[in-house]
Amino acid sequence: MASAAAAIIKIAAHSSSSSSFALFTSSSILLRSTCFSITNTKTYQNNLLSCGFSRNKRMAHVISKATLGLTLPAQIDHPKISFSAKETDLVEWKGDILAVGVTEKDMLKDENSKFQNPILKKLDSQLGGLLSEVSVEEDFTGKTGQSTVIRLAGLGSKRVSLIGLGKGSTGSSTVAYHSLGESVASAAKASQANNVAIALASLEGLTYESKIAIASALAKGTLLGTYEDNRFKSESKKSALKSVELLGLGTGPELEKKLKYTEDVCSGVILAKELVNAPANVLTPEVLAAEAEKIAATYSDVLTAKILDTEQCKELKMGSYLGVAAASTNPPKFIHLCYKPPSGSVKTKLALVGKGLTFDSGGYNIKTGPGCSIEMMKVDMGGSSAVLGAAKALGQIKPPGVEVHFIVAACENMISGTGMRPGDILTASNGKTIEVNNTDAEGRLTLADALVYACNQGVDKIVDLATLTGACIVALGPSVAGIFTPSDELSKEVVAASEVAGEKLWRMPMEESYWEQMKSGVADMVNTGGRQGGSITAALFLKQFVDEKVQWLHIDMAGPVWSDKKKAATGFAISTLVEWVVFNSSS
């Protein structure tokens, strides 16, 4: 028994000591080694009691955690890339890759097949006409998604890459520049480049503020494009990229501050990606709560953590949330982080509430048939990942004048003899009763008690986020999240934040007449209406649990939480949430 424990300790030490994923999984294996190697019945029973598992249900929890694949996430190094802004001339820059973003207009040539754009003309002259020659041979016209790389010898740059920006970014949109950064990251991976420079062929008409926004988008695209989640792969190739220089976009403390802000936001996005990517046998409600506590401990000067267990949730009469959690052997954990600025008074109190279903089987209305995507239901905690990712970013940014509550009712929606049944009536913490006509509409049940809890913190505004309905994906597709709110003011705030962040939101109607289909004959409401307008009726359901004095907005992010193309989480909404909080800190 001692040798088995020592072996487990060795395994845990090999994994990341700072990772709650690894800590909880290895602890489960240790419990299994301790409890199951005992053959004497009396000793066995005493051992269970000493471990704190006096009831069969808790023992089942140990068994389930101990036998689900023995998967330990490997320790991976997040990208450590140094970003700097310089005014170095392109032809004088020395390094591995010089990447130039070009529009279709930039690629126009004169009657002698020479570039009209002065920057490209100068660079092409330095290369002896090779740039124009290659662009013609490869039919590179600067369209979005196009790129070409020229390998050089004897010059400062080992490679020069032209990357298409299409017709160019318009207005305040930074999406094209984010994509440019991602393309640079891909080129750097392919060549194992250590250092790259990014420049734009056209800078005319750009204000200083525009240049700062573009620099931020380039840094964000490069940093997130470099990151790969290889924790669950037996072998992986590390990125060699160490430094990125942004040329021609200005210099100074304001730009440096913006680049630091971008890195902080990206750290939150990466955390969110890891949480969503983690399988349900690794990321249980307990582990999600441990990750939240880890964030609070890391930024303890501004963040505190409170984790409520089942008994504490019972005391708060969270019957709606506990009804969903009742079937699982993995106990629920109600997560509450609170951010308070390091100095100064608080002018505004905000709450970010995220749906935290670490797995959703559908319950007795089990997900079945083609397209049910039950195998993807690890993503059903995407709302909570956005909330915790934002908490990590804000813990570093430390905006003044604003208090933020991060709230997640974490649990699993499983099937067992203790689980809620279709037709059951649940009582939420605000006293309202809910007839459960579909156990697969569970997210709104957990959010109900989370929203009541958020209102009880005395907040002025609430944004909740959830992978709530397939109906929203049908309406808006995989790349756009739907927003629902009675408040025009709050809608404008959040949409403005999303535009700065480069994320797509679309306001949907709160059609009050649809509430008729949500009425129950035996309770205050049912938890689902008909198929038509499903995302709207879900939002109307959530509204029943928000104080009328509190401004509230719901984000249905079922579509953009996951990329089918990349087969990975997107980290959606963190950038928008951080921008929104920062806006409220300065308003």
Which residues are designated catalytic?
A: 367, 444
Q: For strand 95-102 and strand 195-200, is the pairing parallel, antiparallel, or unpaired?
A: parallel
- Chain-centre distance for alpha carbon 469: 18
Q: Indicate the burial class of 407 (C-beta count within 10 angstroms; 0-12, 13-18, 19 or more).
A: buried
CA–CA dist 503, 21 (Å, integer): 29
Cα Rg of the chain (Å, integer): 26
Tokens of 5: 């424990």
Q: Are strands 425-427 and 461-466 parallel, antiparallel or unpaired?
A: unpaired
Reduce the DSSP state of residue 309 to 3 states and report it: coil
**For residue 148, what are the β-bridge partners?**
162
Taking alpha carbons only, the member of 193, 246, 265 closest to residue 83 is 246
Q: How far is CA 530 from the centre of its chain?
A: 30
Handedness of CA 353, 354, 355, 357 (dihedral sign): negative
Location of structure tokens 């190739």? 237
Cα separation values, 227 from 238, 326, 384, Å: 9, 37, 21
Residue 536 zone, left/alpha/beta (φ > 0; ψ -120 to 50; rest): alpha
Q: What is d(CA 223, CA 207) in angstroms, rounded to the nearest whole number? A: 24
Check residue 89 and give left, alpha or beta (phi > 0: left; psi -120 to 50: alpha): beta
Is residue 304 classed as helix, strand or coil in its secondary structure? strand
CA proximity to 321, closest of 285, 351, 350: 285
CA distance 489 to 582: 16
Instruction: Decide: helix, strand or coil at residue 203.
Output: coil
Q: Do 535 and 471 form a contact (C-beta atoms < 8 A)?
A: yes
In 467-577, beta strands by DSSP E: 481-484, 505-507, 525-526, 551-556, 562-563, 568-569
Q: Residue 524: which of 320, 285, 241, 278 has the closest Cα?
A: 320
SS3 for 156?
A: coil
Retrieve residue 34's tokens. Answer: 């301790």
- Alpha-helical runs (H) found in 350-403: 382-397
Strand pairing partners for 164? 102
Helix axis angle, 2-14 to 20-36, nearest 10°: 170
Which of 78, 96, 98, 84 is closest to 226 using CA atoms? 78
Q: And the tokens for 350? A: 């905000």
Burial of 301 (0-12, 13-18, 19+ CB in 10 A): exposed
Q: Between 20-36 and 41-50, two packed helices, what is the crossing angle to 10 degrees?
A: 150
Which pair of structure tokens corresponds to residue 501?
């962040």
Measured CA to CA, the distance from residue 125 to residue 136 in angstroms comes to 16
